[in-house]
Amino acid sequence: MTLNTADFRQRALTNARYTADLIPQNAIVAGVARSPHPHARIKNINTAGALAIPGVLAVLTAEDFEGIRLGHNDSDEPVLTTVARYVGDEIAAVAARDQQSLLRGIEALQIEYEILPHAITIDDALDLPTSIHDSCTDNITDRFQAARGDWYEIESQVDIWVDNTFETAAVPHAYLEPRAAVVHVKDDCLELVCGSHAPSMMADHYRPIVASWGSQLEIHTPAMGGSFGAKWQHSTHLICLLFAHRLQQDVAIVLSRRDDMIAGRTRAAMRFKMRIGATATGKLLAKETMLWSDNGAYSLHGPAVMRAATFRADSLYRFAATRSEGQLIYTNNIPSECFRGLGITQSTFAQEQLIDELAKRLNIDPIKLRKMNTVCEGETTIHGWQVGSCGIVDCLDSISNRINQYRRNQTSATNNRYRIGYGVAAFIHCIGNRGYDQHFDRAYVKLTAMPDGRIRISSGEVELGCGTVEVLIKTVSHELAIDPQQLDVVLGDTAIGPHGMGSFASRTSFFVAFAAEDACRRFNQMAQHELLQNIEVTGIYQPDNVVVPDESGYGNISAAYTFGTHGCCVRVDSYTGKVSVEQYWAAHDAGKIVDINAAEGQVIGGVMQGLGYALTECTAVDDNGQLLNPGYLDNRVPTFADAVPVDVIFADTFENSGPAGAKTIAEQPIIPVAACVANAVHDAIGVRLNRLPINPERVWRTLNHDTNS
């Protein structure tokens, strides 16, 4: 089977158009003045010099966006700020006729700062004499606690504890297409064109703002060059919208790679203190987690990410009691945002290393220890998740088999310098989460019979390369018994609708398929008594077994759960500490696989990103909050030469609640990678790498018991 869809073909032929390809010739260009200081109050902005430059048309400052905030739950990010909270924070915006005037305009702004004490690390923030946001005096912006089971009773049964502290690094999403936005002025409507994985949600947030200016808003999403969780609300959108509204001309902004990295988003850096208790025979009993999450300067999805990281990974195993506490801390770093795997990627790095450690201490094979303790089909996990299909044991077995086979054929044995090691790590992940938003597990698909006889399928969801278009075309052509050539798909266009939550939490294809089925049912019904050209129906899907979890996160938050196990073989140069991944295996339970090519692509791509996260990526910041590596050269995302052979295995499962038995595969592949590599490194050289990235110097220092690693 191939990924043969019109959309894919257009991208493959390089005919697809991305935001920056759609800028009208005469568009006004916008740009942003960014703070060079990590924390400073803006005392004064003199815009006269900028406005005097020929070609400069207008300047916006915080006053123009009074009372407007970006963010989901804890809206705390101003569009333009009066207090700079990280290096790169947006202070003013300039609109000009051309790039050169724009550059001169931005440079001509005179901004007076009052420097404030700043915090780059979590510890600094907790000790900071000033608060980063007035509303949050101790810089702890969110706290979360969850406790399950009878802790003291269970604790008394524990024979062995393993514990450690783990630290993960902030990394940029580093999507290849830098952020861009175009606003078209169409009568009394502003049309925002930008890549986003959640256009309807953005429109919900922006519409009242644009309405207060007396204008309407539609959002149109063209092809998007990667998001991975980042391309959502952003100040550049509102800046362009307001310029377009004021100047009544089309406006465009395109960030440079450097600016995109300086003022983009990152995966939150986290510190875990975690311990796991078990019986002497290897039955897992208790897990305790304390988490500090570096929120960066603004919240965005920080609270959701922190909560997920605090406790969700527990559900993989049958713990009898858990205690978890999380804190979300403001720092003067780049704001964090969701990033493939939410916080689970971080917490799995900690949990799966502890499981590995326990296996070593108990002298039980790490695969066996996991098999003894993972949840099973039909069970309810400690956090109230009702597990439907569950292929975790299959996944563990296939990884075990692959490793054993590989090991037998392995010729390059460990020597004094190069040490070979094998590691595994497992995960659980949900599909959607009703606790986050009421729309989260609801999806809509609209079918419209067009005047020319074709059928238009529209959805507020977007195509991220996971095959959403493919799923829609397949479902509709099958249900309506119609030639796929007769179908058009429009995604993420708010003018056409319907509403769509967006591609979060690997939810899209799962929900869209069901909504499309429902739409087809309605379509066929109507077709019995209506002329074809009058038919427009919207199908809805919402799983019925899902609840809004309670305050402590308890409840069945997802219609189905996905599982997986990864394994890898590493070769560690014990002289330099350099880790090379020689072979990688990824076994996933994603339900019945609809499109094997797309599914494998997601896995291999996710593993590559995970290897970057594990080994080389980080945002390096100096004491003054200046980003030292704002580009692909120094922030080392994997290159072609770094590609590792990845063997993909899918467990043979069928999810009754899923479309055609499918679950999903999107975020999942990145989740266990860092833990898997760390476990293999431990196997190779006998020391535990509890900080990311696992770069050569850190490995070398750890190996030499240097505490500064």
Partner 1 sequence: MGSSASTIRPTQLPDLELFWPTHIDELIEHIKGGAKLLAGGTDLLLQARNQGQPQKLAWIGNIESMHNFAEQDEQWQVGAGISLGKLISNAAFRRAAPAIVDAAQLVGSVQIRNQATLLGNICSASPAGDTLPALLVHEAEVETAKSHSLLLDDFLIAPGQTALAPGDILLSVSLRGLRANEISCYYRHTERKALDLAVASVAIRLSFEDDGCTIAAARIALGAVGPTAMLAKQAAESLVGQPLTKKSIANCATIAAEICNPISDFRASADYRRLLIRVLVGDVINQIEKRVQLLP
Partner 2 sequence: MNTRLILHINGNEHSLPDAWHGRRLLDYLRHELSLMSVKEGCGEGDCGACTVLVDGEPMCSCLLLGGVLANRSIVTVEGLSDDHRQRFAQLCEQHGGLQCGFCTSGFTMMSAWLAEGGSETGQNSSDKLLAGNICRCGVYQQLKKVIADLL
Residue 606 CA to residue 128 CA, distance in Å, equals: 37
Pair 192, 218: CB distance under 8 Å: yes
* Identified binder of partner 1 from the candidate list 23, 62, 79, 262, rule CB under 8 A: 262
Indicate whether 277 belongs to the interface with partner 2 (CB under 8 A): no
DSSP per-residue codes, 477-499? HHHTT--GGGEEEEESBTTT---
Residue 48 or 176 with smaller CB distance to ligand FES: 176
Indicate whether 256 belongs to the interface with partner 1 (CB under 8 A): yes
Residue 506 CA to residue 503 CA, distance in Å, equals: 7
Which residues have C-beta within 8 Å of that of residue 705, sequence separation ≥ 6?
none
Indicate whether 252 belongs to the interface with partner 1 (CB under 8 A): no
Indicate whether 49 belongs to the interface with ligand FES (CB under 6 A): no
Pair 389, 662: CB distance under 8 Å: no
* Identified binder of partner 2 from the candidate list 141, 609, 668, 690, rule CB under 8 A: 609
* Identified binder of partner 2 from the candidate list 229, 282, 465, 549, rule CB under 8 A: 465
Tell the smallest beta-carbon distance from residue 707 to partner 2 (Å): 34
* Identified binder of partner 2 from the candidate list 74, 314, 600, 667, rule CB under 8 A: 600
How is residue 177 written in tokens?
């297409």
Tell me the three state secondary structure of residue 611: helix
Tell the smallest beta-carbon distance from residue 632 to ligand FES (Å): 8
Which residue in 323, 259, 263 sits closest to 298, CA to CA? 263
Tell the smallest beta-carbon distance from residue 100 to partner 2 (Å): 10
615 burial (CB, 10 Å; 0-12 / 13-18 / 19+) is buried
How is residue 680 written in tokens?
């293999």
Only segment of 153-161, 218-226, 253-261, 367-375 that touches partner 1 (CB under 8 A): 253-261
Per partner kind, with CB cut-offs from 5 to 8 A, the member of partner 2, partner 1, ligand FES, none near residue 243 is none
Residue 226 or 497 with smaller CB distance to ligand FES: 226
Indicate whether 640 belongs to the interface with partner 2 (CB under 8 A): yes
- Please say whether the dihedral angle defined by the alpha carbons of residues 467, 473, 478 and 480, taken in this order, is positive or negative: positive
Residue 645 or 686 with smaller CB distance to partner 2: 645
Residue 589 CA to residue 582 CA, distance in Å, equals: 24
Indicate whether 485 belongs to the interface with partner 2 (CB under 8 A): no
End-to-end CA distance of the chain: 48
Helices in 323-382 by DSSP H: which ranges?
344-362, 366-373
Residue 461 CA to residue 477 CA, distance in Å, equals: 19
> How many C-beta atoms surround the C-beta of residue 18 within 10 A?
17
* Identified binder of partner 1 from the candidate list 636, 647, 654, 687, rule CB under 8 A: 636
DSSP 335: P
Residue 52 or 620 with smaller CB distance to partner 1: 620
Look at the chain and count its residues: 709
Instruction: Return the CA Rg of the chain.
Output: 26
Kindly report whether the peptide bond that precedes residue 630 is cis, defined as omega within 30 degrees of 0: no
Pair 172, 266: CB distance under 8 Å: yes
Chain positions 7 to 36 lying near partner 1, rule: CB under 8 A, are 31-36
How is residue 355 written in tokens?
């499981």
Indicate whether 696 belongs to the interface with ligand FES (CB under 6 A): no
* Identified binder of partner 1 from the candidate list 121, 542, 616, 657, rule CB under 8 A: 616
Tell the smallest beta-carbon distance from residue 507 to partner 2 (Å): 18
Indicate whether 40 belongs to the interface with partner 1 (CB under 8 A): yes
* Identified binder of ligand FES from the candidate list 49, 55, 149, 226, rule CB under 6 A: 226
Tell me which residue has tokens 């815009």.
47
How is residue 182 written in tokens?
């175009």
* Identified binder of partner 2 from the candidate list 146, 581, 604, 621, rule CB under 8 A: 604
Indicate whether 17 belongs to the interface with partner 2 (CB under 8 A): yes
Per partner kind, with CB cut-offs from 5 to 8 A, the member of ligand FES, partner 2, partner 1, none near residue 21 is partner 2
Whole-Å CA distances, 337 to 44, 71, 131, 134, 145: 30, 10, 21, 21, 21
Only segment of 5-13, 284-292, 586-594, 695-703 that touches partner 1 (CB under 8 A): 695-703
Binding residues for ligand FES, per CB under 6 A? 176, 226
Binding residues for partner 1, per CB under 8 A? 31-37, 40, 87-88, 91-92, 99-100, 102-103, 106-107, 109-113, 115, 256-259, 262, 575-576, 578, 615-616, 620, 622, 624, 628-629, 632-634, 636, 638-642, 695-697, 700-701
Binding residues for partner 2, per CB under 8 A? 2-4, 8-9, 11-18, 20-21, 25, 174-178, 223-226, 228, 254, 256-258, 464-466, 597-598, 600-602, 604-609, 631-633, 637-641, 643, 645-646
